[in-house]
Amino acid sequence: MSLSPGQLLRGLAVVVFLAVWAFLAHTSSSGKGSADLSVLLGVAPIVAALGLLFWRNRHPLLTGTVSLALLGGLAWLWPTLRENVALLFFIQHLGTNLALGALFGRSLLGDGEALITQLARAVHQGELSERKRLYTRQATLAWTLFFLGNALISAILWLLAPHPVWSIFANLMSAPLLAAMFIGEHLWRARVLPPDERPSIAQVARAYRMRNRQPGPATDLKTPQPPANPS
């Protein structure tokens, strides 16, 4: 698949942004640099995540009240956060991985479909082979273990290693580990699925956007349940 110059530039801009962000986060959580800038870097992803959470809220009064409460709480806690920058980054890293692990993992529970299976069904307009259904469920499990494993290693390093060592793992290694996971999944997908059952990144992104526009619970795509496996 060929990429346009615009897509290449956007991709390069994202890579540069992530590299600069990782360097600044590592510097901040290692106790260097401006305390206020460090706190800003630490809380920005949390604020962004909460903003996305309330973006679809249909109750402006509730959204405004919660936003004011969060801003007030942040202003009140700011002096404390300035004195505990490393802890702030640890909570951010641990919380992000636990939340993503829960997002993928909870879809494996019960009779519903795994998260990646839901996305694949949206890409293929509801039609999935048993081979694709099995692969997407296993891929969901793999991502669940990846995020939970990251959280576990982060906690162990935070408790037992010097903070700069933890910061190297949490801030400098996160993007390479994520890239390695994507590459590994791509190679696995190429091995077990035929070409016509391998969606492009654009198709997956489109399916994810469609999924988020669905009314009701975020994990419900209103798709038919897969047939039971023959005994």
The pTM assigned to this predicted structure is 0.76
- The span from the CA of 121 to the CA of 119, in Å, is 5
**pLDDT, position 150:** 96
Q: What is the rounded CA–CA span in Å between residue 136 and residue 149?
A: 20
Task: Specify whether the CB–CB gap between 41 and 86 falls below 8 A.
Answer: no
> Is 223:121 a contact under the CB 8 Å cutoff?
yes
How high is the pLDDT of residue 56? 66
CA 13 centroid distance within chain = 19
Q: Which residues of the chain have pLDDT under 50?
A: 1, 216-231
Percentages helix, strand, coil for the chain (3-state, rounded to 5) are 75, 0, 25
- Model pLDDT, residue 62: 73
110: left (phi over 0), alpha (psi -120 to 50) or beta: left
